[in-house]
Structure 1
Amino acid sequence: MAMGVNGNGRHAADEEARAEVDVLNSRLEKTTQLTKKIQACLGRLEATGKSVREVAGPLNGETKKLQVLGNNIDAVITAIERLRQPADSKNDEEQIIRMGPDKAGLSNYLASIKRLNKALGDMKASNLRSTQQTVAELQRLVKSGNTQLENSFDKLLRSETPRSIEPLHFITKSKPFPTLSQDKFARLGLMNSYVAGVHRQSGGSAAPQESPVAKIYAEVRSQYLSSTLGNLAAASTNTAKKKNPEAIYRSGTNGIGTYAQAMEGLLIAEYENICNIFMREDWGPVFQATCQPSLVELSRTLRELNAHIKTHMNTDCYLAYEIVEIVSGLSNNLERRTGELKASLAASLKPVRETAKSSLAELLEDTKRRVAALQMMPTDGAPIPIISETMQRLQSMVDFLRPISSVMISLGDGGWKSVAAARAGGGGEAIPSLASFDIGADGKEIFAHYCTDTIDVLMVSIEARARVLLQNRKPVIGVLLANSVTIIERMIQDSELSPLLEGRRAQALDVWRKKATSLYTDTCRDISVHLFDVIHTSRGQRPTSGQGAVDSAMIMKGLGSKDKENIKAKFTAFNAAFDDMVTRHRQYSMERKVRQMFAKDVQNMIEPLYNRFWDRYHEVDKGKGKYVKYDKAAISAVFTSLY
């Protein structure tokens, strides 16, 4: 029974397990069928989606096109509304423009004209035919507005600009020259800023000075500058004409210094005006344009002065040196303060600077010509005027040493030795000679060299002409040269030439002093010939020399009658020649120093020879004085009287 029971239990469990498997298999089959149905549905859905896309795609593209078209239409509508605004507000802007900047107020006026410009630009960009009439009306308004603004600038500037001022008032009181009033700078600056901007935008000239208001400024202010400086320019040429044409020009007696001083003050004040009205990049061009008429007048004035200097080179070359210094100083000061006008001023100065350079050589040539033109010279050896005149010229040059030094440095040491050399060395400020780059060049040293060259040219010319006119009479020529040397030396010592020629003076003058002495004492050699003797005696009777006192009586006893006659003739010839020399010495016109120098030279040459001759042969006339006119004391007294 038990086994039966257990067997029935297992059977029931197996049946139950089979039933569960059947259920699971049934569900799996349904799942498989469901999967197939789902796959079939997905296939149909995909096919349907493709069809939808094929149909919906074109519709989407059309929708986008419609959106763009809509946006464009909105933009056009907006643009039309914007374009209608200027036309609608034209009457309001026109009212402001008609009022002008003075009544409407400068800020309000500028704002209005800027709005009109913007509206005009927008309407031109639209290029709609319907707006052409409005564009034309806006252009008319803008043009009218610009013209009124320029006229307002002109009116305001002229109201602040006098016809001229008295420059001497500011120079004598050391007051700065006047500028435009500060409250006008802002108004003029605003107007310039707008008009200059319009000028550039409209494709006008790129040159700042070509802007309408810049032209107005240059015209108005240049007239003021020219009128103020006109009288001083005229005074500069008038003061060049001296009452005595032969008088040497003196520093500061020409009006060029005051003229340059006034120009400097005026132009610096004008540059300040320009800096307060115009933009930084416009300062230089506008300043140049404003100053141009005044610079042209300066150039004309300097040309006139240069012509006068060239006509009166000997007396007025110093004016050329002064002009070089003054205008160079003006150029340097303006360059430092404004950075402008250096080239223009250099061009104006160039003719005078070239004359200053060439004058150095021409003065030397003139010295030669004047000496060569002399038709007579004093027969007593008196100094001729050209000596002191030449030295006065050198003394006067010292007063202009600064400009002369600069001229000489640019010319080069020795560049004055011929007119051709001076002209070849000439060049403007733009093309200086190589010597101007020599940092070690010393203008004073070069000037000292020029002075010694001048003295040498003078002395050589005088000697050459004297030999012709004085028929080669050496003593007279010697006196003339010695007098010249003494005058030259004195005029150096008594002037500012002395420190400049220290060391050079003695060297240069000693040569000529020795030459003068040689010429003057040439007569002494002729006189000395009479004091040389050749006596034939026997050995026992031969006079001793240098061995104690000489016994003239013993010597005479040993001479034959022929020798004695020869000694008498020598004494006689000596007396005549010596007396003639003494007479001439006293008749010559000599500087005291020259007379003493020559007296000493003559004494040193003749007295020892005469004393020796007298010691030997004075007993030839046994003290009667018939042949032996002078004893040693007497001839010494004569020499002393010559000093």
Structure 2
Amino acid sequence: MVTQRHAAYAEESAEVAVLFASLDKMKSVSKKIQGSMARLNETGRTVQDAIGPIYGNTQRLQIQNNNIDKIQAAIDKVKQPLDMRNKEERILRNRPDKVGLTEYIASIDRTNQALKSLKASNMRSNQVAISELSSLLAVGTGNLENVFRDMLRQDSQPIEPLKQITQGQDFPRISSNQSAQLRTINTNISNFTSQVAPGTDLTPSAKVYAHERGQYMSLSLQNLATATISTAKKVAADAVYRPGTCAIMTYATGIQGMYIAEYDNICPIFSREEWGAVLLATCQESLRTFSSTLRDLDAHIRNHLITDCYLAYEIIDVVSNTSFQIESHTGELKHAISDALKPVRETAKSSLSTLLGDIRSKMNQMLQLPGDGGPLPLTTDVMARLQLMTAYLSPLSSIMRSIGNGGWNRPNDAASTNSVPTLSSFDVGADGKQLFAHYCTDSIETLLSSLESKARQLQKGKSLQGIFLANNIAIIERMIRQSELQTLLGGAQPKVDGWKKKATNLYLDAWKNEVSPFLLDVQYTSKQMRPPSTGQAVDSATILKTLSSKDKDAIKEKFKNFNTAFDDLLARHKSFKMEPEVRGLLGREVQKFMEPLYARFWERYHEVDKGKGKYVKYDKGQLSSMLASLS
């Protein structure tokens, strides 16, 4: 037992001894490893100190190499436009038709890009090259302008617009293929211009276009301008202008057709920003001719304002419609056309007061009036004016709105082109037809007032004055009924009726003062029973028995005087010249006034001559028939 235990202790002791021996070895190895690590770290520091500067130098060298490569590339890029100059110069100094338009434009495009690159480099050394390329581009652009001009001239032979107008044909337009080529040329010219002269109103190609096409339009429209002036000339000095006599409508139609066609030509060739400016420049010459033509027409109208003011209204109507059509299609030229129309418009304004003044002037110049009470030709002339003016309601409405209601009664304002607008001016909401009706009413009122005043001066007797006024009123009413005035002058009828009543009263004055007094008697109802009134049974013999011989003699004298006065007025009535309407109206008025007066007097006193007819010349029926014959 003890021996076994000692054996076990000995074995464990041996194992412990082995473990201690291994531990000593591990310590020895660890020390060696620590020594190796220390030597390795020292070696690494030595290597890093040696290699570090070499690596930094290598990076700097790489950066320098990259910079050198970029500089070399930049030099090559700078040299590239210089190298291609000779090649492009050989192309651009030739004519485009020899090189070919496509190749020529491509060369200009390449040169243009090279010039932009040189300018972007901002290097002093490139200034000479920039100058040379700019000169080269100027030569090439100039050659393109010539091509542009030649291509335009192919389609710019003057035409006769009357053919298109009368046959309803469209005005000529540049073909789409031609427009595409012109657009390409214009784009290249515009690109060059934007570099050498930025902000220029019109590019050289636009100026070429405006000149060539402007000349084409001006020459094409020249005959219409001449025809417009010649057709406005008067054959007779007092002839009244008739609608459509002047060729202004044809002229304006030609302008409208050519301007719209030209706008359609411009749009495919030029950029949107250029359309308006190019169109205005292209139309400038023909607009000057148009404006000059309107000034000539205006001078003619002012020299014959009373008879030819209607031409002014027609011009305003035609030109305003033309301006509207052109503007609605192009959005341009409204102000230019309006400026051309302004002189005629001012003349048209002044004509309204001038026509009213003409009525007064002609009446003042009259030294005598018709002795038979017949109407004046002036009345027919005035109403014919108003009838003719209804054909120009649109321009007249515009004019009247601009001068305001009643503005025609202020001649200084209407004639002045520099008058300051008032609140009544430019009333765009006013009813133009109503303003025209007011003007017509004022014209009629002016005429009738002048007629009445002159009649009082030159005609003796109110009956003649009444007939004279009534005849002229009949002409006025008849010409209103027979024209467009009827629908416009409904509001004027009360004033006309007032004048008609005044004329009727003037005529009836003689019947009231020269005849009717003989049919009046005095009755003393306080001394005897009041006699029955007219319409009831009247016993003339009984009434006469109550009268004294002196009263009977007075009744006889009344009948005699009545007969004389009645026959005289009857003869005078038949001697007057009366319009049918006037004869009917005045005849009825006389009968309505005289018949009841005479009937009453006759019923009471006809037995004064016991039916012998010595004093009582007419019975009730005879007088009624004679009065009826007056109508």
Provide the TM-score with structure 1 as the length reference. 0.88
Give the C-alpha shift of residue 410 in structure 1.
5.2
Deviation readout 1:501-523 (Å, 9 max, x if unpaired):
4x446534322222111111011
Match of 1:447 in 2: 436
Query: Is the 1:256–1:323 contact (alpha carbons within 8 Å) kept by the matching residues of 2?
Result: yes
Q: Label 1:64 to 1:626 Cα distance change in 2 as closer, same or farther (>3 A).
A: same
Moved more, 632-641 or 178-187: 632-641
Deviation of residue 225 (structure 1)? 0.8
Instruction: Give the corresponding residue for 1:595.
Output: 583
Q: Distance in 2 between matches of 1:464 and 1:628?
A: 41
Structure 1 residue 475, shift from structure 2 partner: 0.9
Contact 2:108–2:188 at 8 Å: present in 1 too?
Answer: no
- Correspondence 1:557-576 to 2 at 5 A: 557-576=545-564
> Structure 1 318/427 Cα, relative in aligned 2: closer, same or farther at 3 Å?
farther
Aligned pairs for 1:97-136 (under 5 A) are: 97-123=92-118, 134-136=129-131
The corresponding residue for 1:212 is: 204
Deviations along 1:58-87, one digit per CA (max 9) or x if unpaired, are 554444333333333333333333444444
Q: Which residue of 1 aligns with 2:466?
A: 478
Q: CA deviation at 1:574?
A: 2.5
Q: Deviations over 1:153-207 (max 9, x none)?
A: 1222223321x21111221221111123444222221110100111113342253
Q: Which runs of 5+ in 1 are unaligned?
A: none
Q: How far off is 1:387 after superposition?
A: 1.0
- Which of 314, 319, 323 is equivalent to 1:331? 323
Q: How does 1:175-574 map to 2 (within 5 A)?
A: 175-207=169-201, 210-409=202-401, 414-419=406-411, 433=425, 435-437=427-429, 441=431, 443-470=432-459, 473-501=461-489, 503-504=490-491, 506-526=493-513, 527-534=515-522, 539=527, 545=533, 549-574=537-562
Q: Does the 8 A contact of 1:492 with 1:498 survive in 2?
A: yes
Displacement of 1:359 after TM fit? 3.1
Distance 1:46 1:70, change over 3 A: closer
Deviations 1:81-109 (A, max 9, x none): 34444444433322212222111011111
Question: Which range is displaced more, 604-613 or 37-46?
Answer: 37-46
* 1:144–1:428 CA distance, 2 compared to 1 (3 A): farther
- Structure 1 position 404, deviation (Å): 3.2
What SS does the aligned partner of 2:234 have? coil
Tell me the CA shift for residue 483 of structure 1.
0.7
Q: Distance in 2 between matches of 1:166 and 1:412?
A: 43
Provide the rounded CA distance (Å) in 1 between the counterparts of 2:73 and 2:578: 114
> Residues 400-446 of structure 1, C-alpha deviation per residue, up to 9 Å, x if partnerless?
334334444555555544436756999999x99553135xx3x4444
Q: Distance in 2 between matches of 1:321 and 1:302?
A: 13
Q: Identity of counterpart residues, as a percentage?
A: 46
Say which SS state the counterpart of residue 427 (structure 2) adopts. Answer: helix
Deviations 1:217-247, CA, capped at 9 Å, x for gaps: 1011111111111221122122211101222
Moved more, 554-563 or 268-277: 554-563
Q: Distance in 2 between matches of 1:380 and 1:510?
A: 23
Task: Give secondary structure in 2 for the equivalent of 1:380.
Answer: coil
Q: Deviations over 1:303-352 (max 9, x none)?
A: 22223223323222221222122112212221232222222222222333
Give the residue type in structure 1 aligned to 2:569. Answer: M
The letter for the 2-side match of 1:18 is V
SS in 1 for 2:366: coil
2:11 aligned to which of 3, 10, 13? 13
Is the 2:534–2:600 Cα contact (8 Å) retained in structure 1? no
Q: Distance in 2 between matches of 1:184 and 1:434?
A: 47
2:516–2:597: 8 Å Cα contact kept in structure 1?
yes
Structure 1 residue 459 displacement after superposition: 1.6
Structure 1's 537 and 187: CA in aligned 2 closer, same or farther, altered over 3 A?
Answer: closer
Q: What is the Cα deviation at residue 257 of structure 1?
A: 0.4
CA contact (8 A) 1:395 1:495 kept: yes
Q: Is the contact between residue 90 and residue 138 of structure 1 (CA under 8 Å) also seen in structure 2? A: yes
Q: Deviations over 1:359-387 (max 9, x none)?
A: 33432333233323322222321111111
The equivalent residue for 1:145 is: 140
1:74 corresponds to 2:69 = yes
